[in-house]
């Protein structure tokens, strides 16, 4: 079994899609290990998105993720990272397949509802960052 980190971003919380999104993961067979709702500090956002520092969209990304409440979670399943990313769908809504979270609910690459770890290493780093109590 593998663990992954998933975050429902402020637009997903504001649009009241938390239950729908979490339900999709649970129906697929993911086990919910940890969950918390929080307003993200600038410091946490900077640490989470440090790989994007210096990119043209970095400041806008930090502003967006700190603009409201998020739901952070740790989910477990076989091949959780890969399967989670497939369920989330492509970042570009015109490329996100129907049936994926982004394919069904987004129209913007900037406000794209959800983040999912993109590798096992990223998942481990993000889980440690957002859920230090799980160490």
Known catalytic residues are 115
Handedness of CA 99, 100, 105, 109 (dihedral sign): negative
Q: Which residues of 97-112 are buried (b: 16+ CB within 10 A; e: fewer)?
A: eeebbbbbbbeeeeeb
State both tokens at 88.
């989330």
Rounded-to-integer distance, Cα 42 and Cα 32, Å: 26
Rounded-to-integer distance, Cα 127 and Cα 131, Å: 5
């Amino acid at each position: 079994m593998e663990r992954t980190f998933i975050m429902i971003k402020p637009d997903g919380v504001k649009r009241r899609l938390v239950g729908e999104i979490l339900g999709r993961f649970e129906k697929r067979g993911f086990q919910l290990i940890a969950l918390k709702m929080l307003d993200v500090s600038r410091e946490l956002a900077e640490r989470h998105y440090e790989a994007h520092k210096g990119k043209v969209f970095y400041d806008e990304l930090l502003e967006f993720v700190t603009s409201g409440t998020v739901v952070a979670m740790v989910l477990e399943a076989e091949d959780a990272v890969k399967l989670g990313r497939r369920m989330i769908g492509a970042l570009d809504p015109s490329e996100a397949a129907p049936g994926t979270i982004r394919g069904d609910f987004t129209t913007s690459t900037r406000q794209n509802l959800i983040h999912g770890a993109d590798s096992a290493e990223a998942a481990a780093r993000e889980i440690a960052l957002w859920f230090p109590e799980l160490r």
